[in-house]
Chains A and B, each alone.
Chain A
């Protein structure tokens, strides 16, 4: 299975720029997606196909990357962005998720 590796946690101050990385154990082309999960809630789609913003998601969120290295950027970070962020690939079978990056605000 394709393993997606994310840093476990990050802490930033409101107004700063934050980048969350996701590295794949093999190429996933551009079939990488990002989800936000707030405590007690289901995940919601932020970015699809590496760099496309889902409808209704603030333009503060952006994604980039291809192959094995991907990045989710939030700029500027707001207090409401406190959540865990997951990457997920749909290039290889089975679909797999990263372990999640918990974003905390200082």
Chain B
């Protein structure tokens, strides 16, 4: 079955960086995009961006350009997100999700499987 296994909780200091991993199994990794989503109590769910796991091409929400960097390692079927110059506002749970093209009246990308989430806490 499709599984996305994320790395564990991170405690980081302001100004530092963290790198979260998302290891995929149960499907052909390079056939689907991986998206990243931020969840906070105050802001709800925010879309960070996606990476084309086959080509390595990326698309970022403008809000997260310069903050998040998405990469993949095809050999291990793992996607990564690095968050840089951390501030307390970056404290959140971060999810990875597989995106597949679904077909209805129009085709559209849908997040059909999610990782369990990785908690990042930024504190001095």
Contacts and interface: CB of A to CB of B under 8 A. Distances in A.
B contact face: mostly helix, strand, loop, or mixed? strand
Contacts of B61: 94
B45 A31 contact: no
B44 interface: yes
Given A33-B111, A97-B44, A52 B102 contact: yes
A49 B102 contact: yes
A52 B47 contact: no
Contacts of B117: 42
A30 B104 contact: yes
B35, B49, B59, B110: residue with the most chain A Cβ atoms closer than 10 Å:
B110
A31 B44 contact: no
A31 B110 CA distance: 9
Interface residues of A, number: 28
A81 B70 CA distance: 34
B110 A42 contact: no
Interface string A37-60: 000011111001111101000000
B115 interface: yes
A45 B112 contact: yes
Contacts of A98: 44
A44 B104 contact: no
B114 A43 contact: yes
B46 interface: yes
Interface stretch (A18-26, A71-79, A85-93): A85-93
A49 B102 CA distance: 8
Given A52-B104, A94-B61, A45 B110 contact: yes
A42 B116 contact: yes
A90 B112 contact: no
Interface of B: 35, 37, 44-47, 49, 59, 61-63, 95, 102-106, 108-117
Interface of A: 29-31, 33, 35, 41-45, 48-52, 54, 86, 88, 90-91, 93-100
